[in-house]
Structure 1
């Protein structure tokens, strides 16, 4: 039989924008992830635009070892700028941007894998672009989810506390022990 957990009605909806303090150590992880990927995509896009590659050209022009065309270059610049904005804002915004763009990169990798060597490959992707899309997607997701999801988050983690409004079991025992030692007016017996 499957065991079902019944949650009490005091559980509130998680709003991630309220739970991470601005100076929290996770903020650095989110910013670094967004910044590294953003700078690379921005440089890749700028080099592609500088080469004056046709906007929908699928001729096989390469920049930094990846195939590109004008459309992919402009798209890379836009995504790179979005990641840099996430880096500047930091916190939950950077984490969410990293996660969302990570998922989109992975989906894009699957989509373009199916479009290789077809007339619908308007971004001029080759297999190295597909692999790059998968790697960047996984890295962005890892940077975005770091400290936000997991089975062993520490009890002082703001995301753990948002999911578990009641005190952790150890803190509950300590609170009960303090109540046993105190009388009705809070005096120690």
Structure 2
């Protein structure tokens, strides 16, 4: 199975993957920019807040890298953007769980607070939802490439039926 072959380049789902990656990437870059503008020290855990969340330069750098990766996914689009969104979304959720356990401990080098954990969960779910849109559902339409991949026999029957109907229509209009 080759992911490039699963989704046609002009499929409408590619737009959802692109916009989702781009939007979330811009949000992360805005947060990182605000963190850099505050000129915090790299691993400062003094509790400075930006947009209601605690931050430091290390968290701003990570946010910049992930934001740029999502913007690159938005530019590339297609299945790459979808897989990137699902992966980054899962990593955000895992980061939220990991940081719950280090709150108020010396291992909290990114200075996560509870608001950061909640943001990590929410942002992870939003990014993953953009990546899974049109791929994960029990009610996919029959023109969806993921449905056709999961139901090859029925897709072949429908394709043959459509091809036969179009041939019959062409032969009917011949003089």
Same-fold call, TM cutoff 0.5: yes
Choose from 36, 41, 59 the match for 2:28: 41
Choose from 131, 141, 146 the match for 2:133: 146
Aligned to 2:122: 135
Aligned-residue offset at 1:15: 2.4
Structure with the bigger percentage of helix = 2
Cα distance in 1 for partners of 2:80, 2:124 equals 17
Distance 1:169 1:83, change over 3 A: closer
1:23-72 superposed Cα distances (whole Å, 9 cap, x missing partner): 11101111111111100101111111121101010001111221100100
| TM-score, length basis structure 1 | 0.81
1:81-104 superposed Cα distances (whole Å, 9 cap, x missing partner): 000001111111110110000000
Cα distance in 1 for partners of 2:94, 2:118 equals 12
Choose from 83, 105, 130 the match for 2:92: 105
In 2, are the aligned partners of 1:16 and 1:159 still within 8 Å (CA)?
no
Aligned to 1:163: 150
Number of equivalent positions: 164
Choose from 76, 87, 95 the match for 2:63: 76
Cα distance in 2 for partners of 1:151, 1:135 equals 24
Distance 1:69 1:164, change over 3 A: same
Structure 1 residue 96 corresponds to structure 2 residue 83: yes
| TM-score, length basis structure 2 | 0.87
Distance 1:17 1:174, change over 3 A: closer
Choose from 17, 20, 31 the match for 1:30: 17
Name whichever of 135-144 and 18-27 sits farther off.
Answer: 18-27
Aligned to 2:171: none
Gaps of 5+ in 2: 166-175
The CA RMSD over aligned residues, in Å, is 2.0
